[in-house]
Each structure stands twice: as C-alpha cells, then as structure tokens.
Structure 1
Amino acid sequence: MPSTTISTDNIINIQKSRDENETVKYTEKLHHLINHSNISFPFSSFRHTIAQNFTIDTSRAKTNKHIVSICAAKLGLHEYPEGREDGGICDIYWHNNMQHDIRSIIKNPQCKINKFPGMSDLSKKISLTRAITSMRRLFPDEYVFYPSSWFIPAQLDAFIKHCNKCAKSGEHSTSFQNSNNWYIVKPDDGAQGTGIYLIQKPEEIRKPETCQLIQEYIADPYLLNDNLKFDLRIYAIIKSINPLSIYVAREGMARFCTEQYATPTSSNFDNLYAHLTNYSLNKENNAYIHSLSLIDQIKGSKRLLSTVFHQMEARGVKKQQLWHDIKIIIVKTVIAMLPEIILNYEHYFYDTIGPQCFQVIKIPLVRDTILLVLNLIDVVYPNQSLTNLTHSNSNCPRKTMDDMGEFGAKQRCHLTEV
C-alpha cells in the first residue's frame, strides 16, 4: 500500500483553521491521508533474516527489559543489556522513558529509539482529548468514534450548559445509545481504574476543582453470551510520521468485567465490577477468572484478541470489516496526535538531525451495538512488563514485540525510505 502525507504546516493548519472554506479544502486532504496511510501487519518473512546482525541497547529499558530481552533473543537480535562498552552504536535503543539527555546518548541519526519526544504528555487523558476534540470539531463525521468529552475545571461551565440543554429537551447527549445521559469521570493522571466513577448530573462531580475528564458513557455495549462488558486492546507501532506509517500487531487482548452488565441506574451505577474492565480493579473480585490454559481463556477475564474475534464471528460479526474499522480509528487517532508529535520532535532536536523515532501504542476500544468507540484510558503507553502473567497476557506482549522485531528487521532493509 503506498504511503502519503500532509505537510507539517498543513497538519497544524487543519487544527488552527476556523474558516469553512479552508476546512472543506483540508477535508479532502484528510480523507486522502486516511485512505492511503501505510497501515498494515508486519511480514513474518523478515523474521530471522536481517535480524541476525541487528543490535539493541536495553540498558535503559527498566520494566520493559524482561519482555524486550525475551523477544530480542527469539528474533536473533544482539542485545547489549548494559550498553556498548566499546563505544559503538546500536541499531535500536529501547528506553522505558524518553531521556532528557537523549542527544548525548544517541548521536547517529540512523539509530532508532522507541519513543517520540513529548509522548508522555500526550498520554494524559486531557491532552489527548484536546487533540482529538480539535479534529472532531473540524471533521465531526470523521471522529464519531470518540465520545463527547469535557475536561474540568476548564470546561465545567460548558458541561453544565450541555446537561441543562439535554434536561430541557429530553434528548440524549449524542448519537450514542446513552440511556438517561450517563457520564463517566476519569482523573487526568489516574491509572488502573483508580478514581473512575459514573454520574448523571454536574453536581455529582467529586472535587470539581481537580483535573478530570468527563465523557458520555457508552451505556449499550456489545456483549457476548456471558453478558460481561469488555474492551479490546489493540497494539500498534508508529513507524514514522513523515510519511505516516503504522504497523498493527496481529494479536492483542480483551479485558472483561467480572459481573454481568446492566444499563446504569441509580441502584447499580456504583457497581464498578460491571462497568469498568480494568484488571487492577476486577482482580480483587472473587469472580475473576485467571486464564491458565487455552481452554481457560475462552471464559477468562483476560482473553487473547484472536479468541474474542472468533467468539464475535460466531455471533455474526465480520472480522475483516472489524479489522478495517480498527485500522481507520488508529489512523485518525494518530493524525490527531501528529501536530504535537511533530512540534515536540522539532523542539527537541531543533539544531541537529535527530534519531529515527518509533512508538508502540495501545488503542483501547469498546464496541457498542452500532460502532467501535475509542475508550480513552491509556492510549500511548502500553504495559510491556511481565507481571501478573496468565496464559493470555503472557502471549500478547511477546507476540506484539515479535511483530515489532519483524518491523525493525524490515526497516533496516529500507533505511533510505524511513
């Protein structure tokens, strides 16, 4: 599939534009970028071929190190866990976090690093919501997969106005099946489900002076036979941003609630075991099912993406169309992030040729009865550690990292194209 791109200036102008004619002009370019961006699966034929002389520095990988080392060995990469004592360069530098002194660590522009500068800021819920909301305001038909959102305290008045309008008209907040206008509130810097709760009215917001994200709640999610709410965890690699090139891992994960789902009401809205899929929350429930084998994970609280896709196919869902929809959402989400990624990179390496960056990202999706919805919890930084392993989530990061290795081997064949 051919690659294409919109120039840096045009991408930024798309979000800054308020002129209707300019928006129409850029809409065509946006469609062209979405339809022709290089987004595909890595090719297994590259495995164990070019990788034999491929080097990787994992001295700063920290919690990622175990899984990266396992996959490096499997792929035949030459690993330097303590860095190169001879002062030589490596092909890849794998860091847990972007180092402030990265310019002194990686001096060769042909080297690759697994982080884009500024991604830690974009991983915050409010920062990413701003980026996606900007695109949704300009291209509402293209970003219907993202629920209406408000970040407080800055947009508290706007949220109150929205709720008052819905109360007077008796209408639902948007096209989503949001029964009785339920909303989900998430702390901006929260993780693992901590501090998440459901509300119906602005006065129910806890600590409105703190940074929180409010989103309309998807109250009619797609369910399997067990009637448990679940989300899909799709893993992708942003190979390059100019041209925009993305690889999607063949395997992913699905996380399930531990109690059967029911549309939220005043009597059940606080039953988070039925509404939130977070592992850290649900593992505390006695109903949590650990997947110790392939048979277990068919009904487990964590399942391989391939297993869930098979279960969805049995209920009439077309997997090929599902993958197509997933890829389109990934492309549109990354496009919304591009201006910040580009500006941060240029700021970081303003007076020198920087390294070739790539980034592993995690896209959490919830499917309602109509379409896929981006469930913005932790899009940017996936957990690549090997803690709390079960059969499902021990295979998932390894398969994802294997795909990353194939991408790396292929990329080395075409350094001039990157």
Structure 2
Amino acid sequence: DGEDWTLYLTDLSVSLEHLVDMKIDQICHGSIKSTTFMLAHNMNRMLKHFPKEYNIFPETWCLPAERVCDYSDFQAYSRGKNQKTYICKPDTGCKPGQHMICQDYIFRPFLIDGFKFDLRIYGLVTLIDSLQVFLYEDGLAHCCTNQYCYPKHSNMHDVCMHLTNYAINNNRENFVRFDNAGKMKCDTVKLWADIEDVVIKALISAQYLLCHNYHFCFPWHAVNPAGACFELLAFDVMLDHRVKPWLLEVNHSPSFTTDSWLDREVKDELLYDTLVLVNLGACDRQKASEVERCHIQKRLQPASKKGQYREKSSCIFACSM
C-alpha cells in the first residue's frame, strides 16, 4: 500500500491504472501478460510465415475459432488422420464454454523409465524492446505417475498417464519426490541450445504486442536503465523420442511453492538471481524525481504552436523506438 516502494512483486493481474501511475524509479513484476490463447494465436501466425523455423510447438487451434477458415483447418486436419488425440486446456482465467486451446497430442514422447514427463524452464525477461532474456540453468521435471502407453479408448481417462501436471499427479499414492538432479543419455549441449531457440522464438512471436503495451504504460521508461517492469516466466517443454523440444505452454505466473528440498534449492536461487539481474540499484530516486518534476513543469508552461509541435514530435519518436 502507498507509493513509497521500489519493487512491486506479484503473481496477480495488475490494473492498467496502477501501471500508468507508477513512478520512474519503480519496477513492477507481473505487468505485461500474454494469455495462452494470445500466445497460440501469435505462434500460429508466425508458423504461417516461417513454417520451418516455427515448427517448435504441436499443431494448435484456438477454439471457438475466430474465423471460419480456422475451424475448417481443424476439421481438415482431423479428417486427414486415422486416429487423432488432442489435449484441450482453458485460456488463462476463462470460464467453461469460452476460449480454449486444442493441441495435437505428442504420441511418441521421450520417456524416463517408461514414464512421460515435461521440463519446466525458467526465463527472465528484463527488456522487451531489445528483448533481453535470461534462462535459468536449473529447472524441474514434472513426471506422470503411471507408465506410458499410446492413447486409446480404454486408457483415455487415465490422466496420470497422459498429463504431466504436478497438480494432477502429486496426490497419487505412487507419487515420489526426487530430490536429486538427474542426467539424460543424450547430447545435452545441443538440447539446451534447442530449448533456447524455442524460448526466443516464442517471445519474438509476441514482442510487437508487448512493446506496444509497454510503451503505452511506460512512455518515459528510458529514464530508468533497469526498465519499468520484468517478467519471470515458466516454459513447459516436452521432448519427443528424437529428443526434440516442443513448447507446450508459457506460464506468466509460475508457482513458487516449495514442497521439497529440491524445490527450495531451485526456486530460492532463481528468485535471488532474478532480483540481482533486475538491477534495483539503477533506480535513482532523486534523479527520477528531478526528471518527473521537470516534465510536469513543461506540461504546465504555456507553449507556442511551434513548441507544441516539437514536444509532440519527440513523443511520437520515443514511442516508435
């Protein structure tokens, strides 16, 4: 509460009014969000223009389709296969019957001792204009609790075999928390490079929209070298039998609950490094106050038409950058 703060850390939605009222020396987390529906739409748009480069996520449809041709594409894709299985998930905060994401099922995933799993990779976005991203080298693996076999009518309701979600599997009797790091028998250097490629391309797909929102909320952000906001994202990635990473979704509010020693080890260090990289020391409150005071005085002073034109032109130039 109040205005005397430097860092605002939240995993809840931040109102537009709150963002616009932020001071130049303040930094906010959780301000620029991209819903699952929005991400899928942007990724599909990039896939049409760059089919080879954006073959990094399963075939995905936004339902109900906004355009007739989108639904026709989904129907044509389904008719062209003898047997198809899909995973449907709701958009962020949506109600039943509203927007959902329908995603092609990965039939041949990479398995650990016969169990399906996905990787949670943490990424920190500190700048959106020049897209400055940091990937955390430690992550978590979410495993199913039932051994995997190909989906068919008889096992379709076995969610603990098909879905890797922690919230689904952690209450099972055979759920085990592994507190040790693990290694896979594969080229991990190449795998990590492929994961980096997936993360960067996913962010690029939404960059133009995020830049627009960012400059609308923070038109004078350049005064603060640290930027006005940052996002700590969780990228859920699944590997197929060829150890190729596929992006399943991006979480803008990942859970930092710690249920085990490994959870605490990974997440505590992650949050510590985040606060270091956000560079709170660059928030010069005195300098920011002086700049803000000068800006207010400029706006209060009557200006000639020529002066008004120059001020308006510089503002447009700053936003376009």
TM norm structure 1: 0.60
Show the counterpart of 1:218: 106
Tell me, in whole angstroms, the C-alpha distance in 2 between the residues paired with 1:283 and 1:190.
22
2:246 aligns to what? 373
Structural RMSD (CA): 2.6
Q: Secondary structure at the match of 1:297?
A: coil
Asked whether the 8 Å contact 2:36–2:92 carries over to 1, the reply is: yes
1:106-152 deviation digits (Å, cap 9, x = unpaired): 21x243222343x0xx1x32111001111111111111111111111
Match of 1:337 among 184, 200, 206: 206
* Contact 2:30 2:230 (8 Å CA) reproduced: yes
- What letter corresponds to residue 297 of structure 1 in structure 2? D
In structure 1, what is the Cα distance between the partners aligned to 2:77 and 2:195? 30
Cα shift readout 1:60-100 (whole Å, capped 9, x = no counterpart): xxxxxxxxxxxxxxxxxxxxxxx6xxx6552x332333243
Tell me the CA shift for residue 413 of structure 1: 6.3
- Partner Cα separation in structure 2 for residue 322 and residue 336 of structure 1: 21
1:22-46: CA deviations, max 9, x gaps? xxxxxxxxxxxxxxxxxxxxxxxxx
Equivalent position of 1:139 in the other structure: 50
For 1:406, give the aligned amino acid: V
Q: Note if 1:241 corresponds to 2:128.
A: yes
Aligned with residue 87 of structure 2, among 165, 169, 184: 184
Task: After TM superposition, list the pairs within 5 Å mapping 1:15-54 onto structure 2.
Answer: none
The amino acid that maps onto 2:22 is I
Q: Which residue identity is paired with 2:90?
A: P
Question: Contact 2:110–2:240 (CA<8 Å) still a contact in 1?
Answer: yes
Would you say 1:278 and 2:189 are equivalent positions? no
**Contact 1:249–1:399 (8 Å) recurs in 2:** no
Aligned length: 274
2:78 to 163, 172, 191: 163
DSSP-derived class of the 1:375 partner: strand
Alignment partner, residue 356 of structure 1: 228
When residues 319 and 153 of structure 1 are mapped into structure 2, their CA distance, relative to the original with a 3 A threshold, is same
CA–CA separation in structure 2 for the residues paired with 1:212 and 1:266: 23
CA separation in 2, counterparts of 1:340 and 1:265?
40
Distance 2:283 2:25 in 1: 11
* Residue matched to 1:151: 62
C-alpha distance in 2 between matches for 1:247 and 1:227: 32
SS of structure 1 residue aligned to 2:111: coil
Of 146, 156, 159, 1:269 maps to: 156
Q: CA deviation at 1:104?
A: 6.5
CA distance 1:402–1:250, change in 2 (3 Å)? farther
Q: Is the 8 A contact 2:19 2:31 kept in 1?
A: no
Cα distance in 1, alignment partners of residues 154 and 16 from structure 2:
49
Query: How far is the alpha carbon of 1:215 from its aligned partner?
Result: 1.0
Distance 1:143 1:414 in 2: 38
Q: Which structure has the bigger radius of gyration?
A: 2
Q: Which amino acid aligns with 1:159?
A: F
Task: Output the CA distance in 2 between the equivalents of 1:99 and 1:160.
Answer: 38
Amino-acid identity (%): 24
Cα distance between partner residues in 1 of 2:167 and 2:31: 28
SS in 1 for 2:153: coil
1:318 aligned partner, one-letter code: D
**2:264 partner amino acid:** S
**Is 2:9 the counterpart of 1:94?**
yes
Find 2:37's aligned residue among 105, 114, 126: 126
Distance 1:189 1:379, change over 3 A: closer
Letter in 1 for 2:251: V
Distance 1:142 1:272, change over 3 A: same
2:26 pairs, out of 102, 105, 111, with 111
| 1:184-215 deviations in Å (ceiling 9; x for gaps) | 11122469xxx9xxxxxxxxxxx8x5422111
> Structure 2: 5+ residue runs without aligned partners?
285-321
1:255 aligns with one of 135, 139, 142? 142
State the Cα distance separating 1:182 from its structure 2 match: 1.9
**Which consecutive unaligned segments of at least 5 residues does structure 1 have?**
1-58, 60-82, 171-179, 196-206, 299-306
How many angstroms apart in 2 are the aligned matches of 1:88 and 1:216? 48
What letter corresponds to residue 42 of structure 2 in structure 1? A
The residue aligned with 1:400 is: 270
Q: How much has 1:322 moved relative to structure 2?
A: 1.6
Equivalent-residue separation in structure 2 for 1:190 and 1:356 (angstroms): 25
SS in 2 for 1:163: helix
Equivalences for residues 312-327 of structure 1 within 5 A: 312=184, 315=185, 317-327=186-196
The change in CA–CA distance for 1:89 and 1:288 in structure 2 (over 3 A counts) is closer
TM (norm. structure 2) is 0.77
